[in-house]
């Protein structure tokens, strides 16, 4: 975001630099001639500037895994800045005579890069494995390849010492018309929206699984097959779009946009409007609710076809630097706005009056992205960009097909091998049950550093059979599209239920279980600050049903009252037994809301330690995290790790219950 923000002003400085560096009397020009000789001119400036920007992007990517949260944000932002500076400078240097070939290759490159992203996240259980431990060598290998490409930059651009790219010389002669300027702006802005769409979701398919409570392995494999398929099809038959009319391209983009919005809308709910309003109960998604999702996935290759055509159009238009700067500069600011729009749908009660305008509008950023993608291709006529004449060298063709096939096989095998494989069927007799409540703070420790591995270690050491997670809504752009629920379920080989989907804007409540989960639903109670969604699951143990709740309410008195009444009304109204209600309740012991719960359920900690202080001196008399259990259940023991050592900003509690 930082880099995108800087991008708004940096191109203006480039224009100033360009203006003065071309004046013989200027200091910059004289210094350039002194250092580089007569070759110091506009093409040379573009070439060296793009090389420097690309080098800084590589450096930023390689060092971010070694940094803590705040420096990471700054360095990653700077990396975004220099990429968005590099890319238009790079486009300016491409020969207009090869515009279709360049567009074709850019589309293939983005599709291949997206496939690699899916593979790395598949192997890392939704985390990019190239950021983790010794696997960072993967990133350094890719970085080395990029460095080699930079060293061969002149050859890649087909430069010779005596000539300059025709596209640059053409840009210096004729002034573009207003129509041409508009077309360049729309095309460059459309291109940025495609990049943003990939960043927001298509490079990390777990995002769509959390939107829809969908089947993550199926979504992952389907996208991989489609993206690999479009690469192989384009290599085997470059002219496959030859007979497609332009209106079909526009319709395809529009349908894709409608489907991505529908995918979200069919999982969007109307929240309880007032204090005391009835609880909204949302059961597991029905099969027909998944239709827009799978149709959206099937139409998603349009992303890469658009890149082929938009890049071809940009190069063909032979734009000047100010034209491209306008699109990419506005795009940088626009990127920030889209991210904040997405965040505000989740924290709408915290940055009033702006944020509350975006309550329950999770679909809005994706509608905007899709519409701008569509606007960009409206200036394109397919007949002007036929790829039918493109013929790759045999070694290139075979290499692309081979690498793509290997990545696809890796994704399919990785998905099937890495996903959880629970083996407990719930029928083997057990005499006790260990349950845990853990607010994981989006997978961060007390100081805000990513900490999935240490949190996993705490769970493993506890031997917990059932874990209630809170603040686990990490599968969204603001948190890097990592999915901590999928990660923990994979590492533990547990069944899982995420609970309220990410499109509902809660902080995320989930349930992990060693035993089969036979029924799930989410309970939404009134909120004035951030959505209160409680995950509820029925788990089968010893042939009996256990009723598990994972809660995370917040806000004012009405929020807490409605939330606690929702749970207790369900327990008493349905005469539930074997109830285990856990979570971060954001309320102190003996408050009104606590008393509502203990009038029906028992506080496991107080059952073990009536004073609230354990044998190690941990004083939990002002805690806000609880494990409440039915009166028929007995506590054998209870433990706590205070915040900080808990690898979170919350205490982590677990208890062993006799069965």
pLDDT of residue 583: 97
pLDDT of residue 157: 63
Segment 176-185, tens digit of pLDDT: 677 777 788 8
Instruction: Considering only residues 239 and 508, tell me which one the structure prediction assigns the higher pLDDT.
Output: 508
- Report residue 43's pLDDT band, with 50, 70 and 90 as the boundaries: low
- 377 pLDDT exceeds 50? yes
**Contacts of 475 by beta carbon, 8 Å cutoff, 6+ apart:** 126, 204, 206, 207, 209, 210, 481, 482, 483, 485, 486, 502
**Contacts of 591 by beta carbon, 8 Å cutoff, 6+ apart:** none
Strand partners, 280: 524
**Dihedral pair phi/psi, residue 215, rounded to 5°:** -85, 100
**ω before 449 within 30° of 0 (cis)?**
no
Length, in residues, of the chain: 659
| pTM (predicted TM-score) | 0.91
- Report residue 19's pLDDT band, with 50, 70 and 90 as the boundaries: very low
For residues 462 and 639, the answer to whether their CB atoms sit within 8 Å is yes
- 5 pLDDT exceeds 50? no
Angle at alpha carbon of residue 584, lines to 579 and 589, rounded to 5°: 85
For residues 8 and 333, the answer to whether their CB atoms sit within 8 Å is yes
Residue with the two structure tokens 């420097």: 52
- Report residue 91's pLDDT band, with 50, 70 and 90 as the boundaries: confident
Q: Which two tokens stand for residue 216?
A: 């993550």
Spell out the domains of the chain, with CATH numbers in brackets: 2-268+283-417 (no CATH), 421-658 (3.60.10.10)
Q: How many other CB atoms sit within 10 Å of the CB of residue 574?
A: 9
**Contacts of 34 by beta carbon, 8 Å cutoff, 6+ apart:** none
Q: How many other CB atoms sit within 10 Å of the CB of residue 507?
A: 21
pLDDT of residue 181: 75
Segment 303-338, tens digit of pLDDT: 999 999 999 888 888 887 777 777 787 888 888 899
Report the C-alpha gap between 110 and 98 in whole angstroms.
18
pLDDT of residue 21: 45
Residue closest to 302 by CA, chosen among 379, 227, 404, 236: 227
Segment 130-145, tens digit of pLDDT: 999 999 999 999 999 9
Cα distance between the two ends of the chain: 52
Q: Which two tokens stand for residue 251?
A: 């319709």
- 18 pLDDT exceeds 70? no
Residue with the two structure tokens 């055509």: 309
Residue closest to 265 by CA, chosen among 240, 285, 238: 285
Cα dihedral value 189, 192, 197, 199, nearest 10: -160
Mean pLDDT of the chain: 87
Segment 267-314, tens digit of pLDDT: 999 999 999 999 999 998 889 999 999 999 999 999 999 999 999 888
Residue closest to 345 by CA, chosen among 325, 329, 365, 321: 365
Average pLDDT over residues 586-603: 96
In this structure, what DSSP letter does residue 356 have? G
Please spell the DSSP secondary structure of 273-315, one letter per residue: -STTPPPEEEESPPGGGGHHHHHHHHHTTHHHHHHHHHHHHHH
For residues 191 and 314, the answer to whether their CB atoms sit within 8 Å is yes
Segment 197-212, tens digit of pLDDT: 999 999 999 999 999 9
**Contacts of 625 by beta carbon, 8 Å cutoff, 6+ apart:** 437, 439, 583, 584, 585, 650, 651, 652, 653
- Report residue 656's pLDDT band, with 50, 70 and 90 as the boundaries: very high
For residue 580, how many C-alpha atoms fall within 13 Å in the half-sphere facing its CB?
Answer: 29
- 163 pLDDT exceeds 60? no
Segment 208-253, tens digit of pLDDT: 999 999 999 999 999 999 999 999 999 999 888 877 888 888 999 9
Report the C-alpha gap between 48 and 610 in whole angstroms.
72
Radius of gyration over every alpha carbon of the chain, rounded to an integer in angstroms = 28
Average pLDDT over residues 55-71: 90
């Amino acid at each position: 975001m930082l880099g995108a923000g800087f991008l708004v002003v940096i191109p203006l400085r480039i224009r100033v630099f360009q203006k003065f560096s071309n004046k013989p009397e200027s200091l910059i020009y004289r210094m350039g001639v002194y250092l580089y000789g007569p070759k110091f001119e506009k093409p040379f400036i573009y070439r060296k500037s793009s090389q420097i920007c690309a080098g800084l992007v590589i450096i930023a990517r390689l060092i971010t895994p070694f940094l803590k949260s705040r420096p990471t944000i700054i360095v990653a932002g700077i990396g975004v800045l220099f990429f968005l500076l590099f890319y238009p400078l790079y486009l300016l240097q491409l020969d207009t005579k090869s515009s279709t070939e360049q567009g074709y290759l850019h589309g293939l490159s983005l599709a291949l890069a997206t496939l690699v992203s899916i593979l790395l996240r598949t192997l890392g259980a939704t985390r990019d494995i190239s950021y983790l431990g010794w696997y960072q060598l993967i990133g350094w290998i890719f970085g080395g390849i990029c460095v080699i490409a930079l060293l061969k930059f002149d050859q890649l651009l087909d430069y010779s010492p005596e000539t300059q790219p025709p596209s640059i010389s053409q840009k210096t002669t004729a002034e573009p018309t207003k129509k041409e300027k508009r077309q360049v702006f729309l095309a460059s802005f459309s291109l940025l929206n495609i990049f943003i769409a990939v960043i927001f979701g298509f490079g990390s398919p777990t995002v769509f699984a959390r939107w829809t409570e969908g089947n993550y392995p199926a979504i992952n494999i389907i996208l991989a097959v489609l993206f690999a398929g479009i690469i192989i099809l384009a290599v085997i038959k470059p002219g496959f779009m030859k007979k497609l009319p332009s209106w079909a391209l526009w319709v395809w983009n529009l349908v894709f946009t409608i489907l991505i919005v529908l995918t979200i809308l069919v999982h969007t709910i109307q929240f309880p409007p007032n204090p005391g309003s009835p609880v909204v109960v949302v059961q597991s998604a029905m099969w027909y609710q998944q239709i827009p999702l799978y149709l959206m996935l099937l139409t998603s290759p349009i992303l890469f076809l658009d890149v082929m055509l938009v890049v071809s159009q940009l190069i063909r238009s032979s734009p000047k630097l100010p034209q491209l700067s306008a699109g990419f500069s506005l795009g940088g600011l626009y990127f920030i706005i889209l991210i904040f729009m997405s965040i505000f749908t989740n924290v709408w009660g915290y940055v009033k009056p702006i944020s509350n305008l975006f309550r329950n509008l999770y679909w809005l950023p994706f509608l905007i992205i899709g519409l701008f993608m569509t606007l960009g291709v409206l200036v394109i006529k397919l007949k002007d960009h036929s790829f039918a004449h493109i013929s790759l060298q045999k070694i290139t063709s075979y290499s692309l097909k081979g690498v793509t096939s290997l990545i696809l096989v890796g994704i399919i095998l990785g998905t099937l091998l890495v996903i959880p494989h629970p083996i407990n069927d719930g029928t083997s007799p057990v005499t006790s049950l260990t349950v845990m409540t853990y607010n994981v703070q989006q997978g961060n420790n007390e100081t805000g550093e990513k900490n999935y591995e240490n949190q996993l270690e705490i769970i493993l050491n506890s031997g917990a059979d059932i874990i209630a997670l809170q603040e686990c809504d990490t599968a969204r752009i603001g948190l890097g599209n990592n999915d901590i629920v999928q990660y923990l379920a994979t590492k533990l080989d547990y069944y899982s239920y995420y609970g309220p989907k990410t499109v509902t804007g809660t902080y995320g409540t989930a349930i992990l279980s060693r035993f089969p989960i036979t029924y799930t639903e989410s309970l939404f109670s009134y909120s004035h600050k951030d959505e209160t969604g409680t995950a509820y699951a029925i788990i089968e143990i010893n042939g009996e049903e256990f009723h598990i709740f994972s809660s995370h309410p917040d806000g004012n008195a009405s929020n807490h009252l409605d939330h606690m009444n929702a749970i207790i009304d369900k327990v008493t109204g349905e005469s539930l037994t074997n109830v285990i209600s856990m979570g971060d309740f954001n309320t102190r012991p003996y408050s009104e809301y606590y008393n509502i719960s203990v009038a029906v359920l028992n506080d496991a900690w107080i059952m073990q330690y009536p004073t609230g202080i354990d044998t190690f001196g941990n004083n939990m008399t002002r805690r806000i995290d609880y494990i409440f259990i039915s009166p028929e259940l007995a506590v054998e023991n209870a433990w706590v790790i205070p915040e900080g050592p808990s690898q979170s900003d919350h205490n982590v509690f677990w208890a062993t219950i006799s069965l």
